[in-house]
Structure 1
Amino acid sequence: MGTRTVLDGAEVSRALTRISHEIIEANKGVAGLVLVGIPTRGSLLARRISDIISRIEGAEVPVGSLDVTMYRDDLAHHPTRAPQPTSMPAAGIDGATVVLVDDVLYSGRTVRAALDALNDHGRPRAVRLAALIDRGHRELPIRADYIGKNLPSSKHERISVRLAEIDGEDAVTIGDGPGAAALGEGAV
């Protein structure tokens, strides 16, 4: 099958703009809203969504970054990576509506780990989930509230999210690959 592009740069931008509008609408504005990205690409996407919302609403949305490496329940099954820095907005997350942002939603285990990690930083009023790609194959009862693209795939396929800040371009590709056996940054 090879590799094919399922979202190009313009489509990634449109998906993030749509997610941003959906977040604003669901939250009835930006009051009490905090975006928290899951490193590495989720953190970059959270920053982009914050920038889009700020342009639309004229108010800045606080952004944090939440490393979940040590909260994962599947460390023995997947290669580990060095933990990334965690940072929360100065005002914290207590009483806020937190939108967790990740690049690809797959088994749901990263999100479960993020929920555990979030508890160490405060008690939000509500937690929502935004994912650029939802590829299915959930192992836990978790679903995204905001999705850029549903991309049904087989477990042996590899989804790669490329972002300009790291990879020099914005694109999402799918192709034959080790799939779940090679979970890593930007590729699941």
Structure 2
Amino acid sequence: MNLPDIEHITQELAGQVTELIEQRQLDNPLLVGIRTGGVWVAERLNDTLNSQDEVATLDISFYRDDFTRHGLHPKVQGSELPESIEDRHIILVDDVIMSGRTIRAAMNELFDYGRPASITLVCLLDIGRRELPIQPDLCGATLALNDGQLVKLTGPRPLVLTLA
């Protein structure tokens, strides 16, 4: 299987994000990356958009629904968000959407910081396999993987996609 060119899809995704911000007339949107791959993608989008704002980061480790089964990941780094996201337009960025559970956990954490005006989900890759009814608003590419196959993003510079 050929994986998509990451430079090409991040450029296209940045254009889609710009268009979405303009169409919805989002005032002062906050780019929030889900640690770790989502942060790398959000930073790349932020660079491409020539934004002067910092990318906020979200570490969902304490919000995962499998936390009690698997315990705490040893590399928990914590979230770095503004004190309040009340009435902000959030552009939530992740590298790969699969089951939807990561996004559910991310939204739960976001609401602990306030009630955003809106949340727009942007993902680099969609590999299906949903367990929850969560879909990205914008997606760089969709992949159909074989059972047991996963895609992994490494980075941050360069960003590289591999199959596992």
Q: TM-score range by the shorter chain?
A: 0.7 to 0.9
**In the alignment, which residue of structure 2 is the partner of 1:44?**
40
- Which structure 2 residues correspond to residues 146-185 of structure 1 after superposition, within 5 A? 146-165=138-157, 169-175=158-164
- Which structure 2 residues correspond to residues 64-143 of structure 1 after superposition, within 5 A? 64-78=56-70, 80-82=72-74, 83-89=76-82, 92-143=84-135
CA shift, 1:23, in A, is 1.3
Gaps of 5+ in 2: none
- TM-score normalised by structure 1 residue count: 0.77
CA shift, 1:24, in A, is 1.5
**In the alignment, which residue of structure 2 is the partner of 1:32?**
28
Q: Supply the distance in 2 between the matched residues of 1:97 and 1:75 (Cα, whole angstroms).
A: 28
Aligned identity (percent) is 32
Secondary structure of 1:48's partner?
helix
Secondary structure of 1:112's partner?
helix
> Partner letter of residue 47 of structure 2?
D
Q: CA RMSD in A?
A: 2.0
Cα 1:103–1:79 shift into 2, 3 Å: farther
Gaps of 5+ in 1: 176-188
Cα 1:164–1:5 shift into 2, 3 Å: farther
- TM-score normalised by structure 2 residue count: 0.87
Aligned residues: 161
Q: Supply the distance in 1 between the matched residues of 2:72 and 2:150 (Cα, whole angstroms).
A: 18
